[in-house]
Amino acid sequence: MAVATSVNGGGTMTAFLVCILMFTGFSVCKAQAAAPAVYMFGDSLVDVGNNNYLPLSIAKADFPHNGVDFPAGKPTGRFSNGMNAADFLAKKMGLPTSPPYLSLIGSAKPPITGVSFASGGCGILNSTGDQFIQCISLSQQVEYFSLVNDQLVKQLGPSGAQVHLSKSLFAIVIGSNDFFTYFTTGSTVSIKYTPQQYVDLMVSTFKRLLKMLYNIGARKVMVSGVGAIGCCPVQRKENKTSGCNVGLNYWSSKYNDGLKAMLQDTKSELGMNYAYFDIYGAMVNLFQEPQTYGFTEIKVACCGLGNLNADVPCIPLSSYCSNRRSHVFWDLYHPTETVYSLFSDILYSGSQQYMFPMNVEQLLAV
């Protein structure tokens, strides 16, 4: 700390002090944070290392060049060159990033500032992610959360835990992998369901899990739609003109319509407050005017090999670009840290253009 002060001056010291207090003195931190905790659910867009603890999983990012822009250039399991949306969101709330649930197994007390259940490769449906051998489905994530709640009840008492949860943010970013699974050639779910039936199943399953979260005590949820995933490098490379996969985008946006309607219904039924992020709209806007946000490359992944750097994923053998800030995509599926940051700004304080019916800052103030 003394080193930070002498090198960087007083401003840095203040920031550093707040940070130290957040990890050691909860009473002081509470005054600064926008909510007592953030409970994170989802897939690789927000996974901060759960999959590192799944020995058989092949949906991993705990090796270079992932993390090249993370402090000390460290790969952490985040599918990013640096931080991801979970980190930026927590930071905006004045909280530390919620640690991976699987890193806490065996510890008696989960951190009172939140836990992350997010797991790369998985989805809303249990059948999604089978191709990665191991990941944590949304159902399983909710089951893990109920175990965390049991511990919260022990720590805070039943009514203390209820109050804590009612003020906390529940953030859910999931659904892309359900589509990748459906639209993979030879997928079994595409034989079982028409795309419309599949979308409906995703929405009804989501609703059931959301109600379970409500029954445990969740009152404020941020739910992200599915992005324009037909435009990620792994999809564009299949198109002769490097255009987006139109079908994948169509069904993603159909799902988003169903999701939005479901959230509104759930709010009417239960009184659960929500903030919906139209990530699809935000992505389309980004592709239409990338230069506004400082991007010059919207098609080619930064890290990878082959056509659009999307034939080979981001592994130690792959090359990676030096101008990460000018790329929308870090690897064949995931955005760069800069995009995660931009989207977290929208999530937290964006207008109704992409945040419906309110942004996270407003949700936490309800």
Q: What is the DSSP letter of 121?
A: T
Among 50, 81, 177, 245, binds ligand NAG (CB under 6 A): 245
Q: Which is nearer to ligand NAG, 227 or 350 (CB)?
A: 227
Q: Which is nearer to ligand NAG, 93 or 122 (CB)?
A: 122
Q: Which is nearer to ligand NAG, 139 or 190 (CB)?
A: 139
- Minimum distance from CB of 241 to ligand NAG (Å)? 4
Q: How far apart are CA 249 and CA 280, in angstroms?
A: 9
DSSP 256-318: HHHHHHHHHHHHHHH--EEEEE-HHHHHHHHHH-GGGGT--BSSS-SEEBSGGG-SB-S-TTS
Query: Does residue 334 carry a catalytic annotation?
Result: yes
Q: Are 152 and 73 in contact (CB under 8 A)?
A: no
Q: How far apart are CA 137 and CA 299, in angstroms?
A: 29
- Minimum distance from CB of 218 to ligand NAG (Å)? 18
- Minimum distance from CB of 140 to ligand NAG (Å)? 4
Residue 136 CB-density burial (10 A; 0-12 exposed, 13-18 middle, 19+ buried): buried
Under rule CB under 6 A, residue 139 binds ligand NAG:
yes
Q: Are 277 and 222 in contact (CB under 8 A)?
A: yes
Among 9, 243, 294, 306, binds ligand NAG (CB under 6 A): 243
Exactly one of 44, 57, 168, 344 is catalytic; which is it?
A: 44
Stretch that binds ligand NAG, among 13-21, 139-147, 319-327, 339-347 (CB under 6 A): 139-147
How many residues make up the chain in this entry? 366
Q: Which is nearer to ligand NAG, 33 or 209 (CB)?
A: 209
Under rule CB under 6 A, residue 126 binds ligand NAG:
yes
Residues 256-285 that bind ligand NAG (CB under 6 A): none
Exactly one of 43, 327, 331, 344 is catalytic; which is it?
A: 331
Residue 31, CB half-sphere, CA atoms under 13 Å: how many?
5
- Minimum distance from CB of 322 to ligand NAG (Å)? 28
Under rule CB under 6 A, residue 140 binds ligand NAG:
yes
Query: Does residue 278 carry a catalytic annotation?
Result: no
- Minimum distance from CB of 239 to ligand NAG (Å)? 4
Q: Which is nearer to ligand NAG, 169 or 202 (CB)?
A: 202
Label residue 206 left, alpha or beta by phi (over 0 means left) and psi (-120 to 50 means alpha).
alpha
Task: Name, in order, each residue with C-beta under 8 angstroms of 330's C-beta and a sequence gap of 6 or more.
Answer: 79, 80, 81, 301, 302, 303, 314, 324, 336, 337
Residue 105 CB-density burial (10 A; 0-12 exposed, 13-18 middle, 19+ buried): exposed
Residues 211-240 that bind ligand NAG (CB under 6 A): 239
Q: How far apart are CA 280 and CA 151, in angstroms?
A: 37
Beta-bridge mates of residue 319: 304
**Interface characters, 78-117, with ligand NAG (x: CB under 6 A):** ----------------------------------------
Residue-wise over 335-350: b if at least 16 C-beta within 10 A, else e?
A: bbbbbbbbbbebbbeb
**Interface characters, 141-180, with ligand NAG (x: CB under 6 A):** --x-------------------------------------
Stretch that binds ligand NAG, among 135-143, 174-182, 186-194, 352-360 (CB under 6 A): 135-143
Q: Which is nearer to ligand NAG, 66 or 116 (CB)?
A: 116
Exactly one of 65, 164, 327, 334 is catalytic; which is it?
A: 334
Q: Which is nearer to ligand NAG, 78 or 237 (CB)?
A: 237
Query: Does residue 44 carry a catalytic annotation?
Result: yes
Q: Are 79 and 331 in contact (CB under 8 A)?
A: yes
Q: Are 295 and 308 in contact (CB under 8 A)?
A: no
Binding residues for ligand NAG (CB under 6 A): 126, 137, 139-140, 143, 239, 241, 243, 245-247
Q: Please identify every residue annotated as catalytic.
A: 44, 331, 334
